[in-house]
Amino acid sequence: MNYAISKEPINVQEVIDKVVQREAGAITTFIGTVRELTHGKKTLYLIYEAYESMAVKKLEQIGNEIKERWQGSEVAITHRVGKLDITDVAVVIAVSTPHRADAYEANRYAIERIKEIVPIWKKEHWEDGQEWIGNQLETVAYPKGKPEESDLHE
């Protein structure tokens, strides 16, 4: 399965292996990690949650968008949920294409689309408190710790 939500640490090489193809001249990877400082606050750890079945569908949708836009591409995306410490891998995106420029562009497209449409949200834990951040663009807050049903669109 090229699109997954994982409760376990992500094996980067396994994600890459899903996109290896004889026609590809390039494979790009994006590895998103948990950073220590966000907006000047020291983060201790994050908790990611997701509406998993819909998140996988949206990851697949992104993969299909990439395949339509960049001919000959192959895509694999895994996003982790649960408690993640500083430097833990939160998301891995691998894209292979016949030419390197397309692989870079498609990979960047993937991470931006994930933030736009995939129902994954996080709670940041800082030295002086914690907060559910909301959607990944940080444009919608989820003060109750998850989106309202009306915020989730199939």
Among 66, 84, 69, 58, CA closest to 6: 84
Structure tokens of 148? 């309202």
Q: What is the pLDDT of residues 27-52, one digit of tens each?
A: 999 999 999 998 888 999 999 999 99
Query: Residue 60 — pLDDT band, cuts 50, 70, 90?
Result: very high
Structure tokens of 89? 């891998």
69: helix, strand or coil: helix
Handedness of CA 80, 142, 129, 43 (dihedral sign): positive
Q: Tell me how far apart the alpha carbons of residues 89 and 56 are, in angstroms, rounded to a whole number.
A: 18
Q: Tell me how far apart the alpha carbons of residues 62 and 68 are, in angstroms, rounded to a whole number.
A: 10
Q: What is the pLDDT of residues 118-149, one digit of tens each?
A: 999 999 999 888 888 766 666 666 666 666 66
Report field, pTM of the whole predicted structure over 0.85 = yes
Percentage with pLDDT > 90 across the chain: 76
3: helix, strand or coil: strand
